[in-house]
Structure 1
Amino acid sequence: MLPAGVQVADPRRGLGVTETLGAALPDAAFALFVVLTQLGDPWLLVLVAGATYLVADRVTWIDRERAAYVVALTVTAMALTTALKGLFAFPRPPSAPIPGIEPLPTILRAVYVDAANAGGFGFPSGHALGSTVVWGGLALVVERSTPRRRLAVAAALVAVVSLSRLVLGVHYLVDVLAGVALGLLVLLATARLTASGRRPEPAFALATASALGAVAFAGVGLVPVVELASAVGGWFGWRAVADAEGRGGLLRRSLLAVGLGLLGGVVLLTAGATRAAAVVFVAVVSAVAVGVTLPLADDPRRARRPTESR
């Protein structure tokens, strides 16, 4: 197994596509793809999922249950990517010089280089998997326009993100295709298990299982611990909503989530994890669980019956 930072050419996974695309585009087009690839970056997907959950039930196009489903999908995508990268440990394409840096102000060069580069293992593509799951999940559950148009927009976003990973030279073709295929599999399975997002609990269970796989295959590092804590906190927070009645019940169960995080931190320490990993786990479990429960605290009717579809 190669260390995560080692990059060696693997033409069997690339079929020459990555090298051809990277060499064929002018600098301005390369810079455009540096921007477009952010549509599949974890920071943006988490922001979109979180914002969707916060506005759910306050807008007409999505309810809280299906927004929670999108949150669970987002955690699943990130954790599954980490688990599979740790399991297969396939390297990325060798690094190449990044074009288009010279015209940029010095203050922006580091940001540009960071956005154009990628570290760690390469299989599967996390951007391809994440964009398929999150944008595809939103297309399934959002009640706006027509299903065909929503799916067409999601497919276009996934295609752009997938192409960007090849243009930037950070993935082979097989990595991207595997990411999209796995994302579609996650969508099909969770849509069936959750009644198209109306019962998000199975999606949180899948997120937790994926995060446990991330810890098992990638180790007790910062990223796997955050993913596991997010899955556990999200699942516990949603169950608290399902079991609570009114503001008081939600807040009491939010405090219980903090206790759950503390218990998990003790377990991590007992299992030999670092103190930092245990502290991160406690903080993220507590924050996510409280974040899931608090938007519903002002609506006792939904607190009593959060899994009931409209």
Structure 2
Amino acid sequence: METINAVQSIFGVAPGQPWLLITNLGSDLAYIATLVLYFWLGSPREARTLGLFFALSAFLNTVLKDSVREPRPFVQNPAIASEAAQKTAGGFAFPSGHAMVTATLWVLMALQKRSSVLWAVAIVLTLIVGFSRVILGVHYLSDVLVGFLLGVLLALLGAYLSPALERLNRESFSSVSRWLPAALLGVGSVFVDEEWGRSLGLGAGFWLARADFEPPQSWPLRLLYAGLGLAVAVALYLASSAVLPTEFKRSGIGAFIRYTVLVLLIVEGVPRAFRLRAVALPSNV
């Protein structure tokens, strides 16, 4: 608590300050935008691996939070976090989901692309999103540091397993090895709550996705399609939130179905709607 008080005395926590905007770079919509743009501007197959480990990071974070059950700092001292900041903090505190998932997403992306610019972006973005949670009073410093560590470890694991995942992805779309894991995740979602069901649905969606389309070669056209794809993705996300019954969305199986379908519509449906041709997945990985 003393650490939070110290950093707040330096940076301040007024809702009008930029820290709420910074922390929202680790929100659902920000993650969706990152993954969608990476599909279109990076590599669809690498983005599939990124999506799988994004889902795994979110799942493990939920498991750890529900196991440790550490209260948020503002439970002990409500004055330490503004009402706006508290709205960004769901569930328990340890480890920080913003720090863990952001680290997984951006460090794995940097490992895939091996770009010094992307490494700089990954490091800066991960650090500022993570430490914004301490500044806003919704996490202890230890929550964020452990989140960083776990996120980086998952990113390293993702980079190591990428070739094996590419080989599995070359199998037939109708094969048992593709559909059985997704079905088992669906069965598991019947017995869990919304947070768990969301992570399982993301994992199932990215597992089922082939990501075998070829983005346009010209950058102007690629940027156009990326913008259209992002608009469709955000529209689908918001529409599913508005249309689906609250009880369904908040159930484990409901969240599983929602996010599995969302991923498949965005990753598989949008490219086909744009009539982008599929390419043969490489056999030399």
TM class, shorter-length: 0.5 to 0.7
Which of 18, 24, 32 matches 2:10?
Answer: 24
Partner of 1:11: none
Identity of aligned residues (%): 26
Q: 2:19 matched to 1:44?
A: no
User: Gaps spanning 5+ residues in structure 2: where?
Assistant: 170-177, 214-247
User: Gaps spanning 5+ residues in structure 1: where?
Assistant: 1-13, 102-109, 243-272
Given that 1:46 and 1:74 are in contact with CA atoms closer than 8 Å, whether structure 2 keeps it comes out as no
Alignment-mate amino acid for residue 72 of structure 2: R
Q: 2:64 matched to 1:84?
A: yes
TM-fit CA distance, 1:19: 2.5
Partner of 1:221: 193
Given that 1:98 and 1:113 are in contact with CA atoms closer than 8 Å, whether structure 2 keeps it comes out as no
Structure 1 length-normalised TM: 0.63
Deviations 1:121-152 (A, max 9, x none): 1010000011101122222234xxx7233212
How many Å separate the matches in 2 of 1:285 and 1:29?
34
TM-fit CA distance, 1:114: 5.1
Deviations 1:228-259 (A, max 9, x none): 122112212339x69xxxxxxxxxxxxxxxxx
Alignment-mate amino acid for residue 96 of structure 1: P
Alignment-mate amino acid for residue 120 of structure 1: G
- Structure 2 vs 1, CA of residues 122 and 98 (structure 1 numbering), >3 Å: closer, same or farther? closer
TM-fit CA distance, 1:37: 1.1
- Structure 2 vs 1, CA of residues 163 and 72 (structure 1 numbering), >3 Å: closer, same or farther? same
Partner of 2:235: none
Which of 117, 120, 128 matches 1:152?
Answer: 120
TM-fit CA distance, 1:186: 0.3
Given that 2:51 and 2:203 are in contact with CA atoms closer than 8 Å, whether structure 1 keeps it comes out as no
TM-fit CA distance, 1:294: 2.8
Partner of 1:170, secondary structure, is coil
Partner of 1:260: none
How many Å separate the matches in 2 of 1:19 and 1:167?
8
Root mean square deviation of aligned Cα: 3.6
Higher deviation after alignment, 221-230 or 176-185: 221-230
Partner of 1:124: 95
- Structure 2 vs 1, CA of residues 29 and 289 (structure 1 numbering), >3 Å: closer, same or farther? closer
Deviations 1:145-187 (A, max 9, x none): x723321221111111121111111111111111000011101
Paired residues, number: 233
Partner of 1:250: none
How many Å separate the matches in 1 of 2:271 and 2:249?
35
Which of 294, 297, 303 matches 2:269?
Answer: 294
Given that 1:66 and 1:197 are in contact with CA atoms closer than 8 Å, whether structure 2 keeps it comes out as no
Given that 1:65 and 1:200 are in contact with CA atoms closer than 8 Å, whether structure 2 keeps it comes out as no
TM-fit CA distance, 1:73: 2.5
How many Å separate the matches in 1 of 2:253 and 2:4?
40
Partner of 1:231: 203
Which of 140, 147, 155 matches 1:172?
Answer: 140
Q: Which has the larger radius of gyration?
A: 1
- Structure 2 vs 1, CA of residues 164 and 196 (structure 1 numbering), >3 Å: closer, same or farther? farther
Given that 1:238 and 1:289 are in contact with CA atoms closer than 8 Å, whether structure 2 keeps it comes out as no
Structure 2 length-normalised TM: 0.68
How many Å separate the matches in 2 of 1:309 and 1:30?
52
